[in-house]
Each structure stands twice: as structure tokens, then as C-alpha cells.
Amino acid sequence: MSDFELFQKEFKKWQHKFGLTGYKIYFKYEPLDSAFADIIGNIRDMVVTVRLNSKLPKKDHPFKDIERSAKHEALHLLLYRLEQNAHYRYSSSEEIYEAIEELVFKLEELVGRGHS
């Protein structure tokens, strides 16, 4: 199974576990500037694109974990509505990003490896 296939399979597993089945999900395997993976989309339309970095720098190869990256992005989807709503409040984008990222990393540990 390719990295991209594993990424999609693992993301879909967590999407279903978190009950996020109302979203239309698109996957892309393309170069990203500074991430293993990311998620972008439109919460109102419930459409998101989940991307896996196809050109990971050699220095990052020892840290590559496809399953963890997929779970991480599924956790971002879980928090997506909260993140979008937070942007309407009096917080900077940077503050919101840092708070969401901190929570996602905490949830990753609470959720565990996810093999079931």
C-alpha cells in the first residue's frame, strides 16, 4: 500500500470514529511548503481537502508517520467548526492556530495509536 493510500485509509477510519461523515472529503498528494499534511476547506459547505506532502524534505524522513499524520488531520476536522467560529472573535489568527494545534497534539495522545 502506498503512503497516500495508507493516509486516506487512516484518515477515513478516524473520520468515521469521530462521527464526521457529513463532510465531503477530497484527498490530494502534492508538495507542501512546511507540513507533513494539512486540511483546508469550507465549513459552511462541509467540503474539505486533505493533503499529504508528496515532496517531504530528506531531513524530515526520520519523522514521517503516515498514520499519525492522518489522525492529526482528522482531529483538525473534528475541531474545524470551532476554529472557523474562533476566527470571528477578537483573536488573531496566530493565537487561534497555536491554541488549536496545542489541543490537537493533546488529543492525539489521548486518542492513542488507533489500531483497532
SS3 category, 79: coil
Q: Which CATH class is domain 3-111?
A: alpha beta
The ranges assigned to domains in the chain are: 3-111
Tell me the pLDDT tens digit for each residue of 76-111. 998 888 887 777 767 788 888 887 887 888 788 777
Provide the greatest CA pair distance for the chain: 45
Tell me the pLDDT tens digit for each residue of 9-49. 999 999 998 888 899 999 999 999 989 999 999 888 999 99
Global pTM value: 0.81
